[in-house]
Amino acid sequence: MKIFAYGIREDEQPALKAWIAAHPEVTVEFTDQLLDPETAKLAEGFDAVNVYQQLDYTRETLTALHELGINKMSLRNVGTDNIDFDAAREFDFSISNVPVYSPNAIAEHSIIQMSRLLRRTKAMDAKVAKHDLRWAPTIGREMRMQTVGVIGTGNIGRVAMKILKGFGAKVIAYDLYHNAEVEAEGLYVDTLEELYAQADVITLYVPGVPANHHMINADSIAKMKDGVVIVNCSRGNLMDIDDVIAGLDSGKISDFAMDVYEEEVGLFNVDWSNKEFPDAKIADLIARENVLVTPHTAFYTTKAVLEMVTQSMNASLAFINGEKPSIAVEY
């Protein structure tokens, strides 16, 4: 049994090496290179590939694997929207992802960023760095005084709601698919319009499926309360970033935190220090004292990385053994 792993980062190696040590019957090789039609040849002679990347799994890439006799692919991440499923069906691929690796990682990051916006820590940190130790006018707001609208009540959204309730915030929620516990607490509103009208803060935990594309846009922002705070640690394509910038310029949006960006591939997870920064919109947002930008790091904790590697490698092994892992993708 042989598994080839692509795009292995240095921080993933301890978890991968621990898995290898626990499975001496499996031959595992890995590279830091991403899977594409050219690097696919590295997996020649292997039974399955293990991957994590923002590059698309195109027909050309899947064809290259198919020609090597490989039709088993385990993703170390959640998202599958970058897979050519028509080609995957044609080549009879078995695919898995890791839908739940650590909901707490994303939920905690989003609420930490929300808290930082409310307490204006970016502006205060800048003052302190200049040895300006005066309080005013950098006054904050208390979480318990906010009505927080949670869009999406899956695993991550529900953890975020527990954290928010710990702060004493009033929580309201919207989801097409109601969770029984949230329903029993009476926290759902019937429409997004109701959530927009009531929420002082809006935080997103929904997938980037076509139905949700640019759900935060000029029209939806217009329905929100003046001075709304928006946090997006979910998917970049949920937001029309031009409309968000316009909302910040007008003051309709008072504060904004983003961990994801629709055009983040090739921009995030790159060291741009001492180089020309290629995205004027993100440069503008980074410079604002009421905006917090993190480069898709909400997931990035030791626990999450361990689970992503371990669960995906277990799934690869299950596929090779002719089994269907619980995290197999139905498509």
The per-residue b/e assignment along 284-308, b for 16 or more CB within 10 angstroms, e otherwise, is: ebeeeebbbbbebebbbbeebbbbb
- Cα separation of 225 and 317, whole Å? 51
Q: What is the pLDDT of residues 76-130, one digit of tens each?
A: 998 898 999 999 999 999 999 999 999 999 999 999 999 999 999 999 999 999 9
Please report the pLDDT score of residue 281 as a whole number.
98
Helices 103-118 and 302-320 pack at an angle, to 10 degrees, of 150
User: Is 120 known to be catalytic?
Assistant: no
pLDDT digits (tens, 9 = 90+) for 15-33: 999 999 999 999 999 999 9
Residues 299, 301, 304, 309: is their CA dihedral positive or negative?
positive
The answer, yes or no, to whether residue 257 has pLDDT greater than 90, is: yes
* Residues 290, 284 contacting (CB under 8 angstroms): no
Catalytic residue among 12, 108, 264, 307: 264
CA neighbor of 295 nearest in space, from 265, 255, 256, 253 = 265
* Average pLDDT score, the chain: 97
Annotation says 23 is catalytic: no
Mean pLDDT of 124-142: 97
Say which residues have a Cβ less than 8 Å from residue 5's Cβ, sequence separation at least 6. 16, 28, 29, 30, 31, 49, 50, 51, 313
- Residues with Cβ within 8 Å of 274's Cβ and at least 6 positions away in sequence, in order, are none
- Residue 44 bears catalytic tag: no
Tens of pLDDT along 198-256?
A: 999 999 999 988 999 999 999 999 999 999 999 999 999 999 999 999 999 999 999 99
Q: Report the share of the chain in percent with pLDDT over 70.
A: 100
Kindly indicate the confidence band of residue 54, based on its pLDDT and cuts at 50, 70 and 90. confident
What per-residue confidence (pLDDT) applies to 79? 85
Domain with CATH 3.40.50.720 in the chain: 2-101+302-321, 103-293
The catalytic residue among 12, 158, 296, 307 is 296
Dist CA 167 CA 144 (whole Å): 6
Q: Which CATH number applies to 103-293: 3.40.50.1820, 2.70.70.10, 3.40.50.300, 3.40.50.720?
A: 3.40.50.720
Class of domain 2-101+302-321: alpha beta
Quick: pLDDT tens for 286-331: 999 999 999 999 999 999 999 999 999 999 999 999 999 999 999 9
Q: Which of 235, 263, 288, 289 is catalytic?
A: 235
**Rounded Cα distance, 295 and 82, in Å:** 19
Residue 262 predicted with pLDDT over 90: yes
